Chain A
Amino acid sequence: MTLSELSFVDGEDGAETNADRAYEILRERLVMLDIRPGEPINDERLAAELGFGRTPVREALKRLERDRLVIAYPRRGTFATAVDMTDLADISEIRKQLEPMAAARAARTASSESRARLTSLAEAIVGIDDTDDPREVLRHDVHVHREIYRASGNPHLETILVGLDAHATRIWCLFLDRLPDVASHVREHIGLLQAIVAGDGEAAAALTLAHVTGFEQAIRALL
C-alpha cells in the first residue's frame, strides 16, 4: 500500500491527470522523507525520472507549495520545507479541535460500507508486530486516519485533516529511529475504530484527543 493508493484524488472517474499523479508521488516522498527536509528539488530531473513533462511536475510543485511541503525562492529554486518544531505545536493546536470532531461525526454518521471498511482496518492493525518495518506501520496509520476523515462525511474536514496529517507524519518519520513505540501507537487505533463502528461518538472523540495529545508528548519527550 502506498500513500498514492490512498489518495484524496481517487481517480474513480478517470479524471486523474499526470499533474495529479506527479503530485501524489512527490507528496508521498516528501511525507515519508524520501526527499529530506531542506533538500533541493529539480523539476527537470524529476520530470525525466517520472516520465512526465515539466508542466505537470511544475503544477504538482505549486500544489505542494500551498500544502507547505515545498517552498520556492525566486532565482534559488524549490526546496522541501524544513520540519520545524513550531509546526508540531501549530498543527497540534488545529488537530486537537478537528480530529475528535471528525471521529465523533464518523461514529454518528458513517454508512454501513464505511463501517465495514473501518472494521477490516481494525483487523489489519491487530496483525501489526513490533518488529514490522516502522515505515509500513506508519502507512497503516495514515490509512486509518484517512478512512476516519472520509467517514466523517464532511469533505472540507477531510481535506484539512489530510493536509495536517501529512505534516504530522513527516514529524513521525523524522523521529522514527528514536521512537521505539510506533507499532503500539498505531495499535491504539483498534479501540478507536471499534468505538466508531459501534457508533459511540463520545468515546471516539476522547480516544482521538488522547491519541493526538499523546503524539505531541511523545515527540516533545525526545527534544
Chain B
Amino acid sequence: MTVVGVESLGEVDLAAMSFADQAYLVIQDKLIMLDIRPNEAIVESDLAAQLKLGRTPVREALKRLESDRLVVSFPRRGTFATGVDVAELRHISQIRVNLEPVAARAAADNASAAMCEHLLDLAERTAALNIENIDRHELMRWDLRVHRAIYRATGNPHLEDVLIRYDNLATRIFCLFLDRLPTVARHVGEHTDLLRAIAAGDGDAAAAIALQHVTGFEEAIRAIV
C-alpha cells in the first residue's frame, strides 16, 4: 500500500471551499513542508500568481497563518515565514507534552463507535505503510492526518484548535531535520499503537503512548541540534 490517495491537504474538497480557505491550506502546506523555508520572504503578488488566485484571498490566508505563527509580518519590511530556533522548539514542546496525552485520553473516553472504526482503519493503514519507500513529505502528511483524526475524536473543539496549530508547527520542525533523523519510521509506527489504544477505549495506555511520542520527538531533534 502506498500513500497515494492520501489527500495531501487532509480530507477536503478544495473546489468546495472559498478561495481564501484554499489559499490558506495550500500555503500552510508549503510552509510546513518547507517549500517556503523558515525566515523566507513571502511576496503576496508572487504567491497569488503561483496559486492562480487573487491577492485578496492570499492576503486573508496570510493573516490567518500569522495568527497560527507560521508567518510573521513587519510594517514596511514585509511578510516572512517565521524562524525556528531552540527556544521555539522548547515552547512548542511544553504545550504538546501537556496537551497531547490529555487529547489521547479524551479521544479514548469519548470517541463514538463510528470514530473508533475510522481510527482502527487508520491504524491498519499506518501499519501497512511501506515506510522506507514513501516520499518523506507524503509520510509527514500522513502523520498530520492521523493526529487530526485523534484531535477530532476528543470531541473538544477548543482542544482540537490548539493541537492542530501546534502539530503544524512541530511537523514543520520535524521536516527541517527529516534527513538527519534516523527515527522517522519508528515515530510514524508509534501511531499504530496509539490509534489502537484509543479505539480500544484504553485512556491510560493512550495517554502514555502520546506522552512518549511527543517526548521522543523533542529528544530526537535535540540530539541533533
Interface residues of A (CB under 8 A from B): 13-15, 59, 62-63, 66, 68, 87, 90-91, 93-94, 97-98, 101, 105, 154-157, 159-160, 164, 167
Contacts and interface: CB of A to CB of B under 8 A. Distances in A.
A155 B95 CA distance: 11
A36 B161 CA distance: 24
Interface in B22-65: 60, 63-64
Q: How large is the interface on B (under 10, 10 to 19, 20 to 34, 35 or more residues)?
A: 20 to 34
Q: Is the interface of A mostly helix, strand, loop or mixed?
A: helix
B158 interface: yes
A156 B95 contact: yes
A191 B9 CA distance: 48
B158 A155 contact: no
A87 B157 CA distance: 9
Contacts of A93: 102, 106, 156, 159
B188 interface: no
A94 B99 contact: yes
5 contacts: A63-B63, A90-B158, A97-B98, A101-B98, A160-B162
Interface of B: 60, 63-64, 67, 69, 74-75, 91-92, 94-95, 98-99, 102, 106, 156-159, 161-162, 166
Contacts, number: 59
B95 A157 contact: yes
Contacts of B157: 68, 90
Contacts of B74: 15
A59 B64 CA distance: 10
A90 B161 CA distance: 12
Which residue, of A15, A93, A98, has the highest number of chain B Cβ atoms within 10 A?
A93
A98 B95 contact: yes
A167 B158 CA distance: 10
Contact of A62 (B64, B95, B162): B64
B159 A90 contact: yes
Contacts of B159: 90, 93-94
Contacts of B91: 154-157
